[in-house]
Amino acid sequence: MRGRKVVVAMSGGVDSSVAAALLQERGYEVIGVTMNLFSLPRELCRSEELRSCCGWKAVEDSHRVAVQLGIPHYVADFRKEFEGAVIADFIREYGRGRTPNPCIRCNERIKFKILLERARRLGAGRLATGHHARVKGDAESGRFLLKKGKDRAKDQSYFLYRLTQAQLSRVLMPVGDFTKAEVRKMARRWGLPVAEKEESQETCFAPLGDYPDFLAGRLPEALRPGPIEDTAGHLLGKHKGIGRYTIGQRRGLGIAASRPLYVVAIDARRNTIVVGPEKDLSRRSLEASSLRLIAVKKIDGPLTLKAKIRYKHREAKALVRPLSPRRVVVEFDRPQRAITPGQSVVFYRRDIVLGGGIIDKSLD
């Protein structure tokens, strides 16, 4: 029966493995698929110390789980699509002096688009992931809602705000109803070989967190030296390329000063890093574009919500005002530290994701 066949995106981690086991226990016909997104050396991807969902290790661990569960397991080669949709955007944004979030882009363009279509071709009506988030139908609005996961410390709804209603209607996130401790307990109960595996934390195409090394081979101009100035335009030193810096950064500036200085702006047009004291990082408002809404169809007027300006940021009370169907101004009750162009601002109403957009600039 088509409605009971589900593809599970298996990353080789405990969450996606438990998602597969849970759905099998609930009577679904489960198919495991591991995405091959980027080519890294086999010896690197097989490292037990590498906390990334990349290549060989992910495939091996996913296959071991699939064998134990007795489900088919396939590898989907999406390297070309990932290069065009995620890496190209990542490079373009860094070249503009912005700091993108490639995981959000990957979810939007690869996992919940191309992989969802692959699931359809495999005869599956649904795609399931190991995200700590929940998808619930809302009878009153007739919409599918994206909600925070039960484990607030592991909640991943921030990364999923760009999903459409059509995508959410076909998505299952079974581990979102459990805490991480409960997920590991279930993995142990089922004897899954990844029960104690550490979480993936690095970006798959730069698993050691070395973005400058990655940029060096693809956008060398982002590593071109240039001036470091203070907010008054005084020359303080020389930077090693705008691709090495992000808003709020203190380390690696290489300049002597009587007080701590932080990156407060990146001017890609002039290839200039602007620094200032910590107080200069605080802003009360921002402008965001590429608005994507989930819980509502549109924002007609000012809305008071909670907003996050990055994944690890604490939600803050804010007024969201529409400028156009795709652009908003967000005004916080209290100044926020290091609002960063290229990152996403995501809006919440209690545990429901209203939507979000990509930060273009801080204001005031």
Catalytic residues: 106, 204
Alpha helix stretches (DSSP H) within 122-272:
165-168, 180-189, 211-216
Question: How far is CA 161 from its chain centroid?
Answer: 9
CA 217, 221, 222, 223 dihedral sign is positive
- For residue 164, count other CB atoms closer than 10 A to its CB: 14
CA distance 114 to 5: 18
If you search the block for the tokens 């226990």, which residue do you land on?
25
CB-based contact 109:129 (threshold 8 Å): no
CB-based contact 104:159 (threshold 8 Å): yes
CA distance 246 to 354: 27
Strand pairing of 126-128 and 171-172? parallel
Pair of tokens at residue 15: 């969450």
If you search the block for the tokens 């990844």, which residue do you land on?
194
